[in-house]
Amino acid sequence: MQNHSPSMNDPVGWHGTTILSVRRGQSVCMSGDGQVTLGQTVIKGTARKVRRIGGGSVICGFAGATADAFTLLERLEAKLERYPNQLERACVELAKDWRTDRYLRRLEAMMAVADRDHSYTLTGNGDVLEPDDGIIAIGSGGNFALAAARALITFEDLSPEDVCRRAMKIAGDICVYTNHSLTVETI
C-alpha cells in the first residue's frame, strides 16, 4: 500500500494509500482511501485501511505492506490492552518494540493513530510524532492530502470530517495510487 521501491521484502513493489487525520478541538476524523495496487494494476478498490481499536476509543490508519500493517495493528491493540486509556504510552511501547525487535524492524508500514486527546504518527524508526497543527497524512498521496487539509482547516465552519473528505477528494484527483472510495471514522 505504501509507495516505495521494490526491495527484498517487497519484490513486486506495492503502492498506494492515503491516510489523513484532522483534529479540531476534541473532535478528530481519520480517513483512508480504498485502493491497493500491485505495480501499475489496481488489485482492490475498497480496502479498509482505517479502523477503530481499543474498544472503539482509538482510530488507526495504516500505509505499507498489508501483512506488516496488520501485524503492527495487532501489536498496538495488545499495547492498548496493557495500557488502557494511555495512547501515548502504548504508542511509545510499540515504537520501542518496532525499533529493537529483529522481526518487527523488517516491517514496512506506517501508522496514524488518534484518540479524543492526541494524534500520532508511528514509524519503524522509533518515531512517535504528534503534529503541531493536528493534521497527519501518510502514504503515497499523503503530501497532497496534507496540503489540502492545511488550506481547508482555515475555514472555521468546516468540521474535521468535512476537511478530511474534501482533502481526500483533492488527493484522489492528483495521486494515481489514491481513489475516492473512503473509510471515514470520527471521534
Report, as residue numbers or ranges, the catalytic residues.
17
Lookup: cell for 47: 480496502
Please say whether the beta carbons of 184 and 50 come within 8 A: yes
Sign of the Cα torsion 169, 174, 176, 178 reads negative
Q: Show Cβ contacts of residue 22 under 8 Å, excluding neighbours closer than 6 positions.
A: 28, 29, 30, 134, 135, 149, 153, 160, 161, 163, 164, 167
